[in-house]
Amino acid sequence: MPEPIHQVTFQPDNITVDVYRHGENLLRVAMAAGVHINASCGGNGTCGKCKVIIDQGKVESEHSAKISDEQWEQGYRLACRTKVIDDLIITIPPESRIDNSALKRKTGGQRHILKARDLNTLVQGLTINPAVFKCYLELPPPTADDNMSDLGRLMREIKRAYKYDHISTDFHLLRRLSRVLRQAEWKVTVTLVYNPKGFKLIDLEAGDTTKDNYSIIIDVGTTTVKGQLLNLEECRIAHSNANGTDADNENLCAEDAKYNSQVRFGEDVISRIVHSQKKGGLEELQQAIVGDINDIITQLLKSADIRDDQISHLVIAGNTTMTQLLLGVDPKYIREDPYVPTANFFPPVRAVEIGIKLPDYIHLYVFPQVSSYVGGDIVAGVLGSGIFQREELTLFIDVGTNGEIVLGNADWLVCTSCSAGPAFEGGGVKNGMRAAAGAIEQVRINPETYEPMVITIGSQKTMGICGSGLIDAAAELLLTGIIEPNGKFKRDLDTDRVREGENGWEYVLVYADQTASGIGDVVITEGDLDNLIRTKGAIYAGCRILLESVGLSFADLDKLIIAGGFGQFINLERAITIGLLPEIEPEKFLFVGNGALLGSRLVSFSREMMKDARRVADMMTNIELANNMKFMDEYVAALFLPHTDTAAFPGVMKILKGSG
Ligand code: FES
């Protein structure tokens, strides 16, 4: 654990919390400490309910019209507009507390979100030798005595200087080979691509351009497309300077993301496959995703101020449907029994051939996949998190539109995919939205007054609720006894926030006058809770089935890795409270962020990792859950908060009994 930078003590409950970031938002600190401060505008500074008094220490705070000059002089500040820059003693005045009770439950479970620099802690023996690399050569010009062809001369020098054998040549290069050699006066840089059978010569440039060696990696998600630009040459330098302790980080030059434009043809993979079967549908989908990738590449080049001819490699990881749509390969049979993809291993293809606007020598490496519903993004995640190298029994969960789960170690890997439903991405939830500015991401509810404390992403006015907010809200509703374990609201509570709305019973998180639109209350309904319970039930049941398939249980796990952008934001303790994740020791959990990008970085830096990607995909045995009766039984058992098998959640049950 890092050392705390500041400490904040909240009075009158005398709760002290460590703060690890200079400038942390005071309302977020209170929430992490389980201290209730009224907050109904999402931390936007407009409701004026989060007033606190700074008794001791310095803060940075915005002057707000919600605080009079006299109050300002007395030390009143809005917690949501205040930064912690010192050790503080704070008093929460009665009007910000509603009553004298504070939520003293411990919140915010331990978690460790890995940064890129932690790559070497995940994978063992990472050697930095990019699969696409450059070599500078000074060739002797041809003479009457040495009149070998230009290509032969080049090959001879590569073999002589670098001892590389089995080099093939990209045909397109031949058309300009002679001209470039002479214009460069025989001083050139060649770009070679490693493949298991040898090397391929793909480019030739005048002079020494070995420093211009960049890779672009793309995660093609159903909802979001993310890209990063990596400097492969600096990586080599950074790695050797750091004695192998930092394989990455400094070489991340730029990153960009955008929503997948295919979404206009359907939210999920099934509706996009359906669209692909219409006349011109496959072309529309292919062009949409290629357009997104081109936009991201343009932005990456602009941000890093480099040219496209400085790029050498393009690596893409996506789920099976996204991969086939990108390549223009008909995905029809992915959704037809027995659900087989066209291929699990795609040969390298020139990026330009599928419409990507990069120089014609750049090849696209597509991550191999396992099955129709366990794709290259999951293989990349398994590769990047190093499961395939360790003896420890590891469960890997990637939560997105689908829930993909992998179990195993260095000897074996089994995997499955459960259609978790889009609840975590805002789908099927009345006020659901993606994790964007204005989305409620954290919720605490006072157990006596049932008043909420709400924080939105970016502290913007509330627009809706995202997946992590939904999990938080459901856990709080359960812990405060507002809902029963079956997800139904208690009808007789003394609060106006629980009411019968037009979509059935609901809890008001934010009243309309504090929302961005100003026209509708932001609520969580019984229907939303139903969707959430089905989603978490499918993931938990999928995990149980995988474990049972090899005769193991959650108790046998050494590690549980959570990947996916969503995984970065969920509160571990809350996810366990609702039974999305199993109740095992907190130190066994590891959050690795975006698995697709994690694995793509490794493949960019290391040709051994490129080989391992194929090995990992080959190792993974897919277990199909469709028509699996055991899965249905497990699923039904999991449609309860936290679970019908309460013995599997002793800690949660203890808290529930204590709060009931
Ligand atoms: Fe701070 Fe509303 S003014 S939460």
Compute the distance from residue 274 Cα to the ligand 1 centre, in Å: 45
pLDDT tens for 493-510 read: 999 999 999 889 999 999
41 ligand 1 Cβ < 6 A? yes
Instruction: Indicate the range of 250-254, 268-272, 523-527, 546-550 predicted with least confidence.
Output: 250-254
Cis amide leading into 368 (omega within 30): no
Dist. CA 468–CA 92, nearest whole Å:
27
Question: What distances in angstroms separate CA 454 from CA 41, 432, 533, one per listed residue?
Answer: 7, 15, 22
26 ligand 1 Cβ < 6 A? no
Per CATH, the number for 6-110 is 3.10.20.30
**pLDDT(42) > 60:** yes
**φ/ψ (deg, to 5) at 257:** -150, 155
| pLDDT more than 70, % of the chain | 92
Give the bridge partners for 11, in sequence order: 91
Q: Label each residue of 112-155 as H, E or C.
A: CECCHHHHHHHCCCCCCECCEEEEEEECCCCCCCCCCCHHHHHH
**pLDDT(75) > 60:** yes
**pLDDT(549) > 90:** yes
Compute the distance from residue 487 Cα to the ligand 1 centre, in Å: 29
CA 43 to ligand 1: nearest atom: 4
225 ligand 1 Cβ < 6 A? no
Question: What distances in angstroms separate CA 635 from CA 472, 545, 549, 574, one per listed residue?
Answer: 22, 10, 15, 20
The CATH superfamily assigned to 214-366 is: Domain of unknown function (DUF4445) (3.30.420.480)
47 ligand 1 Cβ < 6 A? yes
CATH architecture, range 132-206 = Roll (3.10)
545 ligand 1 Cβ < 6 A? no
pLDDT tens for 192-207 read: 998 878 899 999 999 9
More confident residue, 457 or 395: 395
Q: Which amino acid is at 110?
A: Q
CB atoms within 10 A of CB 75: 14
Are the beta carbons of 195 and 365 closer than 8 angstroms?
Answer: no
In the chain, list all ranges with CATH 3.30.420.480. 214-366
CA 47 to ligand 1: nearest atom: 2
User: Taking Cα atoms as reference points, which of 263, 531, 318, 332 lies closest to residue 420?
Assistant: 531
**pLDDT(116) > 50:** no
Compute the distance from residue 66 Cα to the ligand 1 centre, in Å: 9
Confidence class of residue 121 from pLDDT cuts 50, 70 and 90? low
**pLDDT(376) > 80:** yes
In the chain, list all ranges with CATH 3.30.420.40. 379-420+537-659
43 ligand 1 Cβ < 6 A? yes
Confidence class of residue 1 from pLDDT cuts 50, 70 and 90? low
In the chain, list all ranges with CATH 3.10.20.880. 132-206
Tell me what pLDDT residue 386 has: 93
Compute the distance from residue 86 Cα to the ligand 1 centre, in Å: 21
CATH architecture, range 379-420+537-659 = 2-Layer Sandwich (3.30)
* Mean local confidence (pLDDT), 411-428: 84
511 ligand 1 Cβ < 6 A? no
- Counting ligand 1 atoms within 8 A of each CB, the residue from 31, 47, 92 with the most, and so the one to mutate, is 47
